[in-house]
Amino acid sequence: MLIRLQKVIADSGLVSRRKAEEWIAQGRVTVNGRVVRELGTKVDPAKDHVKVDGRHLKEVPPQVFLMLNKPKGYMSSLSDPAGRPTITDLLTGVGLRVFPVGRLDYDSEGLMLLTNQGEIAQALLHPRYHVAKTYLIKVKGVLTDEEIGALERGVELEDGLTGPAVVKKIRKAKENSWVEITIHEGRKHQVKRMLETVGHPVIKLTRVRFGSLSLADLPRGHYRYLTDREANQLRALVRSRQEAVAASREPSRLVAPPARRPTRQSHPARPARPARSTHQARPTRSTRPASPARWAKPSRRRKA
């Protein structure tokens, strides 16, 4: 596959793409022994020998991110001791080893992210990073505004209180209805258990968004590679969450007590609590509670 020279250098982890362009213009880069100053040059990393300042680039496997629309009836793991169909059956043609970021139940469907980037995968799954996941759900009955309020504030499950959620009514049918729920955790069967708790068992569950990614019109059972833009948005999301978590650990100067000269009796200053936890962060579109009793447009149209 032919790839722009500056991208090959940047993908090797050596420098940014912009810096690589400078190096190319400065004549520091050779391809198959010849200096290349042309920024549009494309090379095949599998065949061409690219050197910077006379040294070979480190062999780095390309970063792979892809999304799969898992159908129900497939395990979201790569293998299954019980021999049931797994998502591996759907990933034909993916040359590199990729791992699912999180799971979906056997009878759930929708967006699954897969990558060979362990650090990003771990960060996206870390409960402290609160990555939003949105599900379109068909439930038994119709949720009342009180039940929606309870789900949004948090309901008590056997493994503890759930965090804040956003619930939107989408559509009602005769006996069932569709709702969209956004949560920031990833406990086992969490959405099903939340809805069971308020008396509305789940009939069908589809994950339609994961962080900055949307399932959109990817057909069931198909996968596609993320665009550069989507992959960069994921990286930026992870970076911003890492920064937010690091900042929440730092004592905040705003709320720190005024400096006092230490006396023999005084205790060492306790680190001040951060002004806001990430949970209390200023509401954004995805965390603002939905206004009650309004039937909103679904993210993805489906038949009731």
Q: Which residues are catalytic?
A: 105
**Binding segment (CB under 6 A) for ligand URA, from list 40-48, 61-69, 104-112, 209-217:** 104-112
Output DSSP code: residue 18.
H
How far apart are CB 5 and ligand URA at their closest, in Å? 43
The size of the interface with ligand URA (CB under 6 A), counted in residues, is: 8
How far apart are CB 196 and ligand URA at their closest, in Å? 9
75 binds ligand URA (CB under 6 A): no
**Binding segment (CB under 6 A) for ligand URA, from list 112-120, 143-151, 188-196, 234-242:** 188-196
- Residues 174 and 141: beta-carbon distance below 8 Å: no
How far apart are CB 225 and ligand URA at their closest, in Å? 23
**CA–centroid distance for 237 within its chain:** 8
Residues 47, 56: Cα–Cα separation, whole Å = 13
**Choice from 191, 215, 231, 234 touching ligand URA (CB under 6 A):** 191
Task: Name the residue with tokens 């023999």.
Answer: 264
108 binds ligand URA (CB under 6 A): yes
**Choice from 8, 148, 205, 213 touching ligand URA (CB under 6 A):** 205
**Binding segment (CB under 6 A) for ligand URA, from list 15-23, 154-162, 186-194, 227-235:** 186-194
192 binds ligand URA (CB under 6 A): yes
Alpha helices in the chain (DSSP H): 5-11, 17-25, 118-125, 145-153, 190-197, 228-249
Nearer to ligand URA, 38 or 107 (CB): 107
- Residues 212 and 234: beta-carbon distance below 8 Å: yes
Residues 166, 228: Cα–Cα separation, whole Å = 29
134 binds ligand URA (CB under 6 A): no
Token duo for residue 51: 């050197």
208 binds ligand URA (CB under 6 A): no
Region of residue 107 (phi > 0: left; psi between -120 and 50: alpha; otherwise: beta): alpha
Per the document, the length of the chain is: 304
The DSSP-derived string for 152-165 is HH--EETTEE----
How far apart are CB 261 and ligand URA at their closest, in Å? 54
Residues 29, 189: Cα–Cα separation, whole Å = 52
**Choice from 29, 104, 131, 238 touching ligand URA (CB under 6 A):** 104
105 binds ligand URA (CB under 6 A): yes
190 binds ligand URA (CB under 6 A): yes
Token duo for residue 5: 């020279």
Other C-beta atoms closer than 10 Å to the C-beta of 53 total: 8
185 binds ligand URA (CB under 6 A): no
**Binding segment (CB under 6 A) for ligand URA, from list 79-87, 183-191, 252-260, 265-273:** 183-191
Residues 16, 12: Cα–Cα separation, whole Å = 10
How far apart are CB 227 and ligand URA at their closest, in Å? 25
Helices (H) then strands (E): counts for the chain: 6, 17
Nearer to ligand URA, 45 or 100 (CB): 100
Residues 6+ apart with CB under 8 A from 54: 30
How far apart are CB 108 and ligand URA at their closest, in Å? 3
Where do contacts with ligand URA occur on this chain (CB under 6 A)? 104-105, 108, 189-192, 205
